Amino acid sequence: MTITVFCEGNHPAGQELLYKARCMAPEARITALHEDRDPEKYFRCGADTALFLGETEDDCAQGSRIAEALGQQAPDIVLFPATVRGRFLSAWAAAKLHTGLTADCTDLSMTENGLLLQTRPAYGGGLMASILCPERRPQMASVRPGVFPLPGADIRPANAQAQIASCAFPETLMQLMDVVPTDNPCPLQQAKVIVAGGKGVGGKEGFTLLFELARLLGGAVGATRSAVDAGWIPYAHQIGQTGVTVRPTLYLAFGISGMIQHLAGMRGAQYAVAVNTDRNAPIFRAADYGIVAPWRETAAYMIRFIKERKGIQ
């Protein structure tokens, strides 16, 4: 049996889960999937292997990195601390891996046939639910911090050599694509990155900011029909049924509600990121990632981030 425990930053909840995993499955091969650079504390709590994941400011990207690491390991059981961040990351990873997740557990044990028995409060704490995941793998659970103790002594496995591995994942999608700023944008239908704006950007001034972001990403600027009809940007930038159809690697949609005519033109994007203050906007149903926030602040943050990472003044 193999068990992986996600250890969040320097939070002690990961060490608690490692100790619990070792106690309930003494013969298991246990891996600490950790973000900090101090593996020794995980070995002392019973981990056979410490797999360094590293950190990123984007929890969506981190959730995908965790899912990728778990896909490579294929463990039987995965445990997360049920911190605010741990709840998000565990749900993201479970969705990526197409498996179940029992959240906010208060106890864990093993059944006679080797299944993880997950216990959590239900109906406002009125009863305790015992949950099994008999078919899908890995079996995943998040556990409330503090419900399990830390070991009183070093319980480093004596029969296994501890190793430190490194997951070589890109920090962000932009690094994966190796974007290069350019002052000579390519045509929309050839662009790997498209920064698109809708009526929500408010006017020509808004598109000026989007052009700056597109320049830094080495991409092109697109627009919805409503923005073109308003005279904010020429027709050559229109994407949709009455414009062009595009297939970029990355599609950033700012202030776009998501009318079906526009979605028809952007549907071929490999990754679509929507930014809108309306969390019920149809664009979110067509996006891989959604950011519920003011578009201008988000675009300005992206510009600052790229300039800092690229050393651009």
* Predicted confidence (pLDDT) per residue in 188-232, tens digit: 989 999 999 999 999 999 999 999 999 999 999 999 999 999 999
Helices (H), 98-219: 173-177, 204-217
Range among 33-42, 73-82, 288-297 with highest mean pLDDT value: 73-82
Rounded Cα distance between 292 and 298, Å, is 10
Q: How many other CB atoms are there within 10 angstroms of residue 192's CB atom?
A: 17
102-123 pLDDT, tens digit each: 999 999 999 988 899 999 988 7
Q: Which amino acid, 145? A: P
β-pair partners for 122: 127
Answer yes or no: is pLDDT of 94 > 90: yes
Task: Give the model's pLDDT for residue 173.
Answer: 53
Q: How many other CB atoms are there within 10 angstroms of residue 297's CB atom?
A: 10
Q: List the 127-131 sheet strands across, edge first.
A: 107-110, 116-122, 127-131
- Residues 273 and 307 sit within 8 Å (Cβ to Cβ): no
Residue 82's alpha-carbon distances to 13, 25, 87, 250, in angstroms, are 9, 21, 5, 32
User: Do the bridges between strand 116-122 and strand 107-110 make them parallel or antiparallel, or are there none, so unpaired?
Assistant: antiparallel
**Mean per-residue pLDDT for 247-263?**
93
Pick the CATH number of 2-169 from 3.40.50.620, 3.40.50.300, 3.40.366.10, 3.40.50.740: 3.40.50.620
Q: Which two tokens stand for residue 199?
A: 């009526």
Answer yes or no: is pLDDT of 13 > 50: yes
159-177 pLDDT, tens digit each: 655 555 455 444 455 554 5
Task: Give the model's pLDDT for residue 300.
Answer: 92
Rounded Cα distance between 76 and 70, Å, is 10
Task: Give the model's pLDDT for residue 36.
Answer: 85
Task: Give the model's pLDDT for residue 159.
Answer: 63
Task: Give the model's pLDDT for residue 169.
Answer: 46
297: left (phi over 0), alpha (psi -120 to 50) or beta: alpha
pTM of the model: 0.57
301: left (phi over 0), alpha (psi -120 to 50) or beta: alpha
Q: What are phi and psi of 60, to 5 degrees?
A: -65, -45
Rounded Cα distance between 284 and 42, Å, is 39
Rounded Cα distance between 97 and 63, Å, is 11
In the chain, CATH 3.40.50.1220 sits at 175-310
- Residues 286 and 263 sit within 8 Å (Cβ to Cβ): yes
**Mean per-residue pLDDT for 272-296?**
89
Listed residue (267, 269, 268, 287) closest to 279, CA to CA: 287
Task: Give the model's pLDDT for residue 170.
Answer: 45
Answer yes or no: is pLDDT of 79 > 50: yes
In the chain, CATH 3.40.50.620 sits at 2-169
What is the chain's mean pLDDT, rounded?
Answer: 87
Which positions ≥6 away from 249 have C-beta within 8 Å?
177, 192, 193, 269, 270, 271
Q: What are phi and psi of 190, to 5 degrees?
A: -110, -5
Rounded Cα distance between 273 and 69, Å, is 23
**Mean per-residue pLDDT for 237-247?**
93
Task: Give the model's pLDDT for residue 81.
Answer: 95
β-pair partners for 34: 7, 52
Architecture of domain 175-310: 3-Layer(aba) Sandwich (3.40)
pLDDT band at 179 (very low <50, low <70, confident <90, very high): low
